[in-house]
Amino acid sequence: MSTFLEQAFLERDAAAARVFYDEWAPTYEAEITALGYAAPARCAAALTEYVTDLDTPILDFGCGTGLAGQAFNEAGFTHIDGVDISPAMLEQSSKKGIYRSLQPIAAGAAPDGKYGIISAVGVISPGAAPGTTIDVLMHALPKGGKLVFSFNDHALADPLQTGRLNEWIDCSAAYVLFAEHGPHLPAQNMNSTVYVVEKY
Ligand X SMILES: C[S@@+](CC[C@H](N)C(=O)[O-])C[C@H]1O[C@@H](n2cnc3c(N)ncnc32)[C@H](O)[C@@H]1O
Q: Which residues bind ligand X (CB under 6 A)?
A: 14, 17, 21, 39-40, 62-64, 67-68, 84-86, 89, 105, 107, 121-123, 128-129
Residue 48, C-beta contacts closer than 8 angstroms, at least 6 positions apart = 75, 76
Reduce the secondary structure of 95-113 to three states and give it as a string.
CCCCCCEEEECCCCCCCCC
Cα angle, residue 40 at apex, residues 47 and 16 outer, rounded to 5°: 120
Residue 3 or 172 having the CB closest to ligand X:
3
| Closest distance to ligand X from the beta carbon of 51 (Å) | 18
Between CA 126 and CA 122 the distance in angstroms is: 10
| Closest distance to ligand X from the beta carbon of 128 (Å) | 4
Between CA 125 and CA 11 the distance in angstroms is: 9
Residue 14 or 54 having the CB closest to ligand X:
14
Residue 51 or 129 having the CB closest to ligand X:
129
| Closest distance to ligand X from the beta carbon of 152 (Å) | 9
| Closest distance to ligand X from the beta carbon of 84 (Å) | 5
Residue 113 or 200 having the CB closest to ligand X:
113
* 8 half-sphere exposure, CB direction, 13 A CA radius: 23
